[in-house]
Amino acid sequence: MQVRELDIAGSWEFTPPAFPDHRGMFAAPFQGEAFVEAVGYPLRLAQTNHSVSRRGTIRGVHFADVPPSQAKYVYCPAGALLDVVVDIRVGSPTFGRWEAVELNAEKFNAIYISEGLGHSFMALTDDTAMAYICSEPFNPSGEHGITPMDPALGLPWAADIEPILSEKDLAAPTLAEAEASGLLPSYADCMAYQDKLRAVVR
């Protein structure tokens, strides 16, 4: 498993070896040992999600209250997508920055988005599937969003693909509006929560 820490603290890309043969292909997108070595604690499995999206579909930017938030380990078992991690943690040295990685069914690479980070993606092909391993179950009262079309964020959506969004995501506040309303998690709270998770392992 190849592991690459992204420039936004708390996010990593994991790329497993793929084994093609005359029957097809095999890969293991999530490997617990490699995950713990990179992140410092195991990924708690509370829920798995699976979405299928038309080309141009954008989901997010989604995040959850800290603690406990909802960390996500995501990969693309069919099609291709542009996955975007957004640092929305107030007080973070990279607050307001984003990083994008293409996930696809050829590489089976994955992104881990730790507690307190924002997450969004755009489907680059029809019938693009995304699989999520989530550390916490869905909590409607603690789930929030920022519009992925926020011009101040300038997320790198493909200019030649017509975006398709839900009404909820279109109506979500901008990053500045979310910060002003006190909706965003603090960097200090996120770091303290992750330190508690690491302490359990020691």
Structural domain boundaries in the chain = 2-19+26-201
The pLDDT of residue 202: 62
The pLDDT of residue 200: 77
66-102 per-position pLDDT tens digit? 999 999 999 999 999 999 999 999 999 999 999 999 9
18-44 per-position pLDDT tens digit? 999 999 999 999 999 999 999 999 999
DSSP assignments along 81-117, one per residue: EEEEEE---BT-TTTT-EEEEEEETTT--EEEE-TT-
Q: How many CB atoms lie within 10 A of CB 98?
A: 20
CATH topology for 2-19+26-201 is Jelly Rolls (2.60.120)
114-158 per-position pLDDT tens digit? 999 999 999 999 999 999 999 999 999 999 999 999 999 999 999
Once rounded to an integer, what is the mean pLDDT over residues 38-56?
96
Among the listed residues 158, 135, 3, the one whose alpha carbon sits nearest the alpha carbon of residue 80: 158
Catalytic residue positions, numbered: 62, 132
183 pLDDT band (50/70/90 cuts)?
very high
pTM: predicted TM-score of the whole model, two decimal places: 0.94
Token pair belonging to 41: 């604690």
The pLDDT of residue 185: 97
